[in-house]
A and B are shown apart, each in its own frame.
Chain A
Amino acid sequence: MSGKASTNSSGKSGRDGGIYLPQTPEKIKNLFDAISEIEFYAGAEEEGESITSKFFTVKQKIQFMEVGFKAAFISGLITALLSPIMVGVFENLIPVFGSYNPTIVDQFYVFLLTIGFSLGYGVFIARVGKCYSKDYSITKSMVNNLMIGLTTGALLKAAFIFILFHFIYFSILTPENVMSWLIPLTKKELLGLSYSNIEKVYYWIMEFRKTFITAAWFVVFTSLLLVAIPSIKILTTVIKDRRKKQVENL
């Protein structure tokens, strides 16, 4: 965390010349640490004067970017895993609540379940938006680095999943490949496969492979959503801040 290099009688920094200086900074391990650190510095800068971003060292910058990157990447991977299942439900290929014909409520449930991680992370990270004031220096720098990591992670994840799902569609789950896997399994009667149901299984796989294309684009959408939620919050704070300044200058 941080402590005061020069103490003052009021116990607050900045107002009478005191300044917060970082002591031995703790490692920012996760999103909670990063957001707590941002809130702490925002509080310090709100109470006193702005702290120069020179105190925000290269090591800390990398840690903040790393945390943002991990948050985007991990939440996105879970969403990516659930996306083909969600599309499968919408296409009546996978049952939800025991039914192959989902109602609007069922579809809404599956949609919320799939984007839950991205939405949860997005809303949680959006907390830093209120700490993004023009008057702050080190806090703004921290938020910027967190957002750079988050955006990079989200874009890389979206690209990775997009390529992977298209690869599955075009190169792995091709009719030739699926047949070459199903025939030996049917001969050995493995996984409940027999000559009576092989055709049904084949057509199900052929229909399910299409879900990967829709899911790939859906992952791109959720990645943008993850970045958009905190960005909109930051933008709102900046606009409010600007309006407040304009009113004060009148």
Chain B
Amino acid sequence: MSFLDFFNPFKYFDVNTYEHFFVWLFATLFNGWLARVLGFLFLILAYWFWIRREQMARGIGFLIMAFIMGYGWVLFRLIGVAK
């Protein structure tokens, strides 16, 4: 069990800090202008790598990140951080 304890975040942070981190992440990264800027950045990078540089794997990787930036808010709703 000590091996799994290593992965338990509550060993390093208390419950409130951990919860506040996700609330902060939701409020800053996945909501509003920062999400838009990062989303467009990832989308431009996806198109750049995929079409211009012909590196499909990187292109798809950035496209997935662009997807997460756009719809990450829904994920936060599902895990109960966003109300």
With A109-B70, A120-B59 known as contacts, the answer to whether A98 contacts B39 (CB < 8 A) is no
Task: Enumerate chain B interface residues (CB-CB to A < 8 A).
Answer: 30-32, 35-36, 39-40, 43, 46-47, 50-51, 54, 56, 59, 63, 66-67, 69-71, 73-74, 77, 82
A32, A95, A105: which contacts B74 (Cβ < 8 A)? A95
With A97-B35, A98-B35, A120-B50 known as contacts, the answer to whether A109 contacts B40 (CB < 8 A) is yes
Number of A-B contacts (CB under 8 A): 61
Which residues of A are found within 8 Å of B50, using beta-carbon distances? 116, 120, 124
CA distance in complex: A179, B66 (Å): 35
- Distance in angstroms from A130 CB to nearest chain B CB is 15
- Distance in angstroms from B7 CB to nearest chain A CB is 27
Contact A97 B46 (CB under 8 A): no
CA distance in complex: A110, B23 (Å): 25
- List, sorted by A's number, 10 A–B pairs whose CB atoms are closer than 8 Å: A96-B73, A97-B30, A97-B35, A98-B30, A98-B32, A113-B63, A116-B46, A120-B51, A120-B59, A123-B51
Residue A112 is within 8 A (CB to CB) of chain B in the complex:
yes
